[in-house]
Amino acid sequence: MSRFHAFLRDGRILPVEVIRHQPYCDKVYNLHVDEFECYAVGRNSVLVHNTNGPSEIINCHHQLPRQFEALFKAAGLEIEDFTIDMEQGAHRLLPDGLHTGPMNWNWQWQQFFDAYPDAGPEEILDFLSSLRDAFGLE
Amino acid sequence: MTENEFWHLAHPNSTVRNAEWMPGEIELEKVVCPIEKGHQRGGKRLTNLSIALRGGAVEDFVWTWLSECLLQERVLELFRTNGFTGFDVKPVKAKFKHASDHDPPRLSELIVTGWAGMASAESGIKLTKECPACGLLRYSRCENPGKLIDVSQWDGSDFFMVWPLPKFIFVTERVAKAIRDNQLTGAVLERPADLSFGMAPGFGPGRLSYRMPEQRARELGGALGID
């Protein structure tokens, strides 16, 4: 039984049969895919990302997402005043990142503004507080 | 006509394809209350949309993060040839967020002008706050989405809005059928009874004139004090 599994873009999960190390010496790049982070490679569209699980990579999480900046600004809130540092896995990577999955952090904000397109500062901060609780952010 | 014959036209659950407002290209009115600082908020969008699209194939319906609904040309054409009522469109300036080897499609913003009045009392939605100085309106949460639409207030339009949910697009079965028959992509149809409002504690809809042409907003909302 394989210890490792590969996630495919079509939803299948397949066991990894063999891992081969291939020495390579040249410049390499850490590919960052905006928002989703994961991308599909190869004929089988295997989902990959640049790191997995606990890492030393720290991301800046905008608790008031940039996508709604105009609404926050109109309510007198600056998104840069509401950032926290998060380990990358907990921030953006599958399976548990704040920005992964169908009901992720930004999706929650979209739902909120669907109901409250003219939210004021207190309502926005109250919602942020609820969201922090729901996502287990201290 | 019963509520069971209406649909909510919604953005997909995934946000991966959402388009973003182009920074600095869209002007949003800022509402400042002369008596209550906490009422400061965004108001009417004063400019047409200018957006950045995700790469790859663009779906028939495109949604922004602020849930504005954008239509590709073929969708607009389909709606017009079917004679659907209760909507208007505004032009959209679109570009791809990242370099692309093809041009972005022509998109139009769907503006709903059809009307089904106030949410029915049975929905549980009630006005909870009204500021006479700045026009802020607050409503309680919806306890019964299946009773949201009061058919007696519906003006017969194929696309329509129910107050205080101006960001929710309701459509008739005719529209839903056209979307299904033509396999249009990028939107979902759900029954009003299945509506979910996430963790929002109620509704803060703004004013009707933020979402509809001024004249139409006055006609519909003037007497109700929501224009």
User: Taking residues B126-153, what's their average pLDDT?
Assistant: 97
* Least confident residue range of B58-62, B75-79, B101-105: B101-105
CB A37 within 8 A of CB A96: no
Q: Are residues A129 and A62 in the same domain?
A: yes
- Which of B88, B61, B56 lies closest to B74, judged by CA? B61
The answer on A35 and A86 residing in a single domain is: no
Place A59 in a pLDDT band, splitting at 50, 70 and 90.
confident
Task: Identify the residue among A45, A114, A132 best suited for mutation to test binding to B, counting B beta carbons within 10 A and taking the highest.
Answer: A114
The pLDDT score that the predictor gives to residue A138 is: 74
Both A127 and A65 in a single domain? yes
Q: Output the CA torsion sign for A73, A75, A81, A83.
A: negative
Residues A64, A113, single domain; the answer is yes
Mutation pick from A80, A99, A116 vs chain B, by most beta carbons of B within 10 Å, is: A116
Closest by CA position to A93, among listed A46, A51, A44:
A51
CB B190 within 8 A of CB A103: no
Q: Where are the domains of chain B?
A: 3-221
Report, as an integer, the average pLDDT of A8-12. 82
A43, A102: one domain: no
Beta carbons of B108 and B91 less than 8 angstroms apart: yes
Are residues A117 and A68 both part of a single domain? yes
Contact A114 B168 (CB under 8 A): yes
- Quickly state the pLDDT bin for B78 (edges 50, 70, 90): very high
Q: Alpha-carbon Rg of chain B, whole angstroms?
A: 18
Domain match, A80 and A118 both: yes
pLDDT value of residue A63: 96
- In percent, the amount of chain B with pLDDT more than 70 equals 98
How is the beta sheet containing B127-130 ordered, strand by strand? B127-130, B137-140, B202-203
Residue with tokens 């960052």: A32
Average pLDDT over residues A109-118: 96
Report the candidate in B169, A131, A60 with the shortest Cα–Cα distance to residue A123: A131
Q: How far apart are CA B70 and CA B109, in angstroms?
A: 4
Cis previous bond, B166, omega within 30: no
Residues of A whose CB is below 8 A from B21: 67, 70
Measured between CA atoms, how close is B206 to chain A, in angstroms?
5
| Dihedral-angle region of residue B133 (phi above 0 means left; psi in -120 to 50 means alpha; beta otherwise) | alpha
Which of B27, B143, B199 is the best residue to mutate to test the A interface, defined by the most A CB atoms within 10 Å of its own CB?
B199
Q: Which chain B residue's Cα is nearest to A106?
A: B15
d(CA B176, CA B189): 7
Q: What is the pLDDT of residue A94?
A: 66
pLDDT of B2 strictly over 80: no
For residues A94 and A115, membership in a common domain is answered with yes
Distance between CA B15 and CA A101 in Å, rounded?
10
Question: Which strand (E) or helix (H) includes residue B215?
Answer: helix B214-221
In this structure, the answer to whether residues A128 and A68 fall within a common structural domain is yes
pLDDT band at B1 (very low <50, low <70, confident <90, very high): low
Give the closest of B41, B66, B203 to A120, CB-based: B41
Q: Give which of B184, B1, B25 is closest to B110, Cα–Cα.
A: B184
Computed over every residue of chain B, the mean pLDDT equals 96
Structure tokens that stand for B61 in this block: 């319906």
Contacts of residue B66 in chain A, CB cutoff 8 Å? 68, 71, 110, 113, 117
DSSP classification of residue B58: P
pTM for the full predicted model: 0.84
Question: Per CB distance under 8 Å, which residues of A are interface residues toward B?
Answer: 34-36, 65, 67-71, 74-76, 102-104, 106-108, 110-123, 126-127, 130-131, 134
pLDDT of A8 reads 85
Q: Are residues A17 and A65 in the same domain?
A: no
Which residues constitute the domain of residue A85?
58-134
Question: Chain B contacts of A111, Cβ < 8 Å?
Answer: 196-200
Tell me the C-alpha distance between B188 and B181, whole Å.
13
pLDDT at residue A36 tops 80? no
Query: CA quadruple B126, B131, B137, B138: dihedral positive or negative?
Result: negative
Q: Complex ipTM, two decimals? A: 0.95
CA distance B99 to chain A (A): 14
CA quadruple B78, B79, B80, B83: dihedral sign: positive
- A25 and A68 in a single domain? The answer is no
The answer to whether A71 and A123 are in contact (CB under 8 A) is no
Nearest chain A residue to B164 by CA: give it. A115
What is the average pLDDT value for chain A, to the nearest integer?
Answer: 84
- Closest CA relative to residue B88, chosen from B190, B187, B169, B163: B169
- Contact (CB<8Å) A118/B206: yes
Q: How many domains does chain A have?
A: 2
Same domain, A70 and A40: no
Q: What is the pLDDT of residues B155-199, one digit of tens each?
A: 999 999 999 999 999 999 999 999 999 999 999 999 999 999 989
Provide Rg for chain A, Cα atoms: 18
pLDDT tier, A1 (very low <50, low <70, confident <90, very high otherwise): low
Least confident span in A64-73, A94-103, B52-61, B197-206: A94-103
Contacts of A110 in chain B (CB under 8 A): 11, 15, 18, 65-67
pLDDT given for residue A35 in this prediction: 65
